[in-house]
RNA sequence: GGUCCCAUCGUCUAACGGUUAGGACACCAGGUUUUCAUCCUGGCAAUAGGAGUUCGAUUCUCCUUGGGAUCACCA
């Protein structure tokens, strides 16, 4: 068994979105599982569509997600270069081979003439095939005209690791362009050569290439190349509508998800589970588990919709799995302004309390701001509360005052506070839902906060007492 | 339009031809002698339609319908 070698071969036409990530991820998983190699190759043969800087952007996106490659444009490898625009000399002999064997010829038509043929076919309600207009005596190819493949129309049956057994008829085989008049090869030609040269074993790509697959098979044969293993991924659909997720339909840059506080392992887990599962009821997978358990055969054939709600839930799950130190590392850029000068120790104490509540790292400020700075009282949080709104200001004043004096004489570790709070319930005769909600708001004025006794303990006695004072003032 | 691919709860999905069609997200209702976005329990909710094969079809076959992809000197 030869080494498994898979590749991700994007064109540098913009940012990397979840659809692209999935293709890359699955190819990566196949390679990792087999202890083979994963290669990044940039398909930049269309200078017109190229977007400045997107190759670098692609590279940093893969790195940020932890999808590491063994060979690539920035790190080189045995089959360098990995930028197609730098491989022009590689394609020439292969093109020549086809010319010599009579399987490629110069296309003498102007684009307008071809468009004319196309319109004609359309008017006749039949499919346009270039080979119907194949010139009888094409001129010698001098590089200024497109080089066309001279196809041999036939039926094919082939196997696809994801889609199963596929077939096609001769009517889909045509004389496609191998080399454009600008001297660059088309994707259709270049990827076949590169995959062969780079000894790629598995060609994993999106569904949009399925209909040109028979043409590729025809070229492999003309070139006398063995077929690699094919795997066609179904598309990821946009949130609304059934369209393939693309940049036009609001597909987001994966780096944006990371900036929004999603963990790389969440993105990996989520994207993998879009169209794949291991047959058990497990939902949360570490990247290591994914490498171990992934299989192309279990990839769904139908498209999957991208569901941000599920992504959000999954991110919370992954955040909870992190060790405190790891989490602390990752939230470095997410603390509120007010926490900037606070010690690591204090921030970690706060982090322990909120780890269970974070859904994205970006939730950190709203969840923790009041630990580091004086919160702005918002009395409507009391009047809008179903239970608290029934209390009169006198009652509020009284409850808070009793709380204050009880806490004044209490030790301030979480357990002592809990005892103090519990006896407070007895002396005031209030339900926890009312008394504790009141205390919570008085010290935090936040919509959500962690367990009360621990929150108070971390805030510290002085802060708690002074905030209770302020609230008592407000209730007067 | 031609060709190809696809079709289970709203969404992601599970189910050697034999299951009360399972799980997860979301939603709803309870619970956790403490709020809450955590956690726990429960509920709602699906095999697109029609034939056929079979003792028995979500599963196999065909038709219909629906969705998608592709028909570039883009990838």
CA separation for the pair A323, A352 (Å, rounded) = 10
Q: Which nucleotides of B are covered by protein (CB under 7 A)?
A: 1-8, 10-15, 22-26, 33-39, 67-75
* Mean pLDDT value of segment A170-177: 95
How does residue A410 score in pLDDT terms, banded at 50, 70 and 90? confident
- Please indicate, yes or no, if residue A248 is contained in any of the structural domains: no
Q: Is residue A467 part of a domain?
A: yes
What band does A126 get if pLDDT is binned at 50, 70 and 90? confident
Rounded, the Å distance between the CA of A156 and C1' of B26 is 44
- In chain A, what percentage of residues exceed pLDDT 90? 70
Q: State yes or no: pLDDT of A241 exceeds 60.
A: no
**Nearest-nucleotide field for A168 (CA, C1'):** B4
A130 pLDDT exceeds 90? yes
A78-106, pLDDT tens digit by residue? 999 999 999 999 999 999 999 999 999 99
Residues A158, A166: contact at Cβ < 8 Å? yes
Q: CA A244 → C1' B67, Å? A: 11
Residue A109: is its pLDDT beyond 60? yes
Q: Could you tell me the residue range of the domain that residue A392 belongs to?
A: 374-475
Residue that finishes a domain, picked among A181, A202, A233: A233
For chain A, the average pLDDT equals 91
Looking at the predicted structure, is the pLDDT value of residue A27 above 90?
yes
pLDDT per residue over A31-79, tens digit each? 999 999 999 999 999 999 999 999 999 999 999 999 999 999 999 999 9
Considering all nucleic acid strands, name the nucleotide whose C1' atom is nearest to the C-alpha of residue A311: B25
Q: Is residue A221 part of a domain?
A: yes
d(C-alpha A353, C-alpha A357), whole Å: 8
Given pLDDT bands bounded at 50, 70 and 90, which one contains residue A249? Answer: low
Instruction: Say if A358 falls within a structural domain.
Output: no
Instruction: For tokens 């017109």, name the residue.
Output: A48
Question: pLDDT tens for residues A424-446?
Answer: 888 888 888 888 888 998 999 88
Residue nearest to nucleotide B10 (CA to C1'): A307
Q: What are phi and psi of A17, to 5 degrees?
A: -110, 180
User: Residue A125 maps to which CATH number?
Assistant: 3.40.50.620
How far, in Å, is the CA of A335 from the C1' of nucleotide B24? Answer: 31
Through-space separation of residue A22 CA and nucleotide B11 C1' in angstroms: 18
Burial class (CB in 10 A: 0-12, 13-18, 19+), A110: exposed
Supply the pLDDT for residue A247. 60
Q: Is the pLDDT of residue A245 over 80?
A: no
CA-to-C1' distance for A157 and B62, Å? 21
What's the CA angle centered on A37, arms A34 and A43, to 5 degrees? 135
Number of domains in chain A: 2
Alpha-carbon Rg for chain A, nearest whole angstrom, is 32
Contact A28, A21 (CB under 8 A): no
Nearest residue to nucleotide B67 when comparing alpha carbons to its C1'? A242
Note whether residue A212 is domain-resident.
Answer: yes
Higher pLDDT, A323 or A380: A323
Distance of alpha carbon A459 from alpha carbon A349, whole angstroms: 10
Among A233, A263, A286, give the residue marking a domain's end: A233
Residue A206 C-alpha from the chain's centroid: 15
In this structure, what token pair is assigned to residue A247?
């940049």
Distance (Å) from CA A315 to C1' B25? 12
Q: Find the Å distance, CA of residue A308 to C1' of nucleotide B60.
A: 37
- Is pLDDT of A250 > 70? no
pTM equals 0.93
* pLDDT, position A388: 79
Nucleotide nearest to A437 (CA to C1'): B35
pLDDT value at residue A67: 97
Instruction: Decide: A16 and A61 in contact? Cβ < 8 Å.
Output: yes
* Least confident residue range of A181-190, A237-246, A261-270: A237-246
Q: Which stretches does DSSP call E strand in A293-354?
A: 304-305
Q: What is the pLDDT of residue A475?
A: 77
Which nucleotide is closest to A273, CA to C1'? B12
Of A332, A377, A385, A328, the residue nearest A354 (C-alpha): A328
pLDDT score, position A246: 64
CA distance A173 to A215: 5
Which residue, counting CA atoms, is nearest to the C1' of nucleotide B11? A307
pLDDT at A124: 81
What integer pLDDT is reported at residue A122 of this predicted model? 83
In-domain check, residue A109: yes
The interface pTM score, or ipTM, of the predicted complex is 0.94
List A185's β-bridge partners, or say none: A179
pLDDT of residue A173: 95
Nucleotide nearest to A422 (CA to C1'): B33
* A126, closest nucleotide (Cα–C1'): B2
Q: CB of A163 within 8 A of CB of A235?
A: no
Residue nearest to nucleotide B70 (CA to C1'): A211
Report if residue A350 sits inside a domain.
Answer: no
Determine the angle formed by the axes of helices A432-444 and A452-459, rounding to 10 degrees: 30
Closest CA relative to residue A464, chosen from A392, A396, A389, A414: A414
What SS3 state is found at A42? strand
Give domain status of residue A452, yes or no: yes
What pLDDT does residue A428 have? 84
C-alpha pair distances (Å), A366 with each of A82, A426, A455: 45, 33, 15
Backbone angles phi, psi at A144, to 5 degrees: -95, -15
Q: Which residue minimizes Cα–C1' distance to B26?
A: A309
- The CATH number given to whatever domain includes residue A440 is 1.10.10.350
CA of A204 to C1' of B14 (A): 25
pLDDT at A120: 86
User: Mind telling me the catalytic residues of A?
Assistant: 247
Rounded to 10 degrees, what is the CA torsion of A204, A209, A210, A211?
-160
pLDDT at A43: 97
Listed in sequence order, the residues at least 6 apart from A191 whose beta carbon sits closer than 8 Å to its beta carbon are A9, A43, A203
User: Closest protein residue to B15 using CA and C1' atoms?
Assistant: A279
E strand or H helix at A262: none
The answer to whether A423 and A405 are in contact (CB under 8 A) is: no
């Amino acid at each position: 068994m030869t080494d498994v070698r898979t590749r991700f071969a994007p064109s540098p036409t913009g940012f990397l979105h979840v659809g692209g990530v999935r293709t890359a991820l699955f190819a990566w998983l196949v390679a990792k599982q087999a202890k083979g190699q994963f290669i990044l190759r940039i398909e930049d043969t269309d200078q017109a569509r190229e977007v400045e800087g997107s190759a670098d952007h692609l590279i940093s996106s893969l790195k940020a997600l932890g999808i590491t490659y063994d060979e690539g444009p920035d790190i080189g490898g045995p089959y360098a270069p990995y930028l197609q625009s730098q491989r022009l000399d590689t394609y020439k002999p292969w093109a020549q081979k086809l010319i010599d064997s009579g399987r490629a010829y110069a296309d003498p038509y102007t684009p307008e003439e071809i468009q004319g043929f196309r319109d004609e076919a359309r008017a006749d309600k039949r499919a346009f095939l270039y080979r119907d207009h194949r010139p009888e005596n094409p001129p010698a190819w001098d590089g200024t005209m497109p080089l066309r493949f001279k196809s041999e129309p036939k039926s094919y049956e082939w196997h696809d690791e994801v889609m199963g057994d596929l077939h096609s008829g001769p009517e889909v085989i045509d004389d496609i362009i191998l080399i454009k008049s600008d001297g660059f090869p088309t994707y259709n030609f270049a990827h076949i050569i590169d995959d062969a040269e780079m000894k790629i074993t598995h060609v994993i790509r999106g569904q949009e290439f399925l209909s040109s697959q028979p043409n590729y098979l025809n070229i492999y044969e003309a070139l006398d190349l063995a077929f690699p293993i094919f795997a066609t991924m179904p598309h990821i659909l946009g949130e609304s509508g059934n369209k393939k997720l693309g940049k036009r339909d609001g597909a987001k840059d994966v780096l944006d998800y990371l900036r929004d506080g999603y963990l790389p392992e969440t993105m990996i887990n989520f994207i993998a589970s879009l169209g794949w599962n291991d047959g058990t009821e497990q939902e949360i997978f570490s990247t290591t588990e994914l490498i171990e358990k992934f299989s192309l055969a279990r990839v769904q054939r139908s498209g999957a919709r991208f569901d941000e709600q599920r992504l959000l839930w999954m991110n919370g799950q992954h955040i909870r799995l992190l060790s405190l130190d790891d989490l602390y590392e990752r939230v470095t850029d997410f603390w509120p302004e007010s926490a900037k000068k606070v010690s690591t120790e204090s921030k970690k104490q706060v982090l322990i309390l909120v780890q269970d509540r974070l859904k994205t790292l970006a939730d950190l400020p709203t969840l923790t701001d009041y630990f580091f700075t004086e919160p702005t009282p918002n009395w409507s949080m009391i009047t809008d509360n179903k239970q608290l709104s029934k209390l009169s200001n006198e009652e509020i004043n009284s409850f808070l005052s009793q709380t204050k004096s009880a806490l004044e004489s209490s030790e301030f570790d979480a357990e002592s506070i809990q005892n103090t709070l519990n006896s407070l319930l007895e002396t005031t005769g209030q339900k926890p839902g009312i008394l504790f909600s009141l205390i919570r708001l008085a010290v935090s004025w936040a919509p959500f906060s962690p367990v009360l006794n621990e929150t108070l303990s971390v805030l510290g006695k002085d802060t708690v007492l002074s905030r209770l004072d302020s609230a008592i003032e407000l209730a007067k």
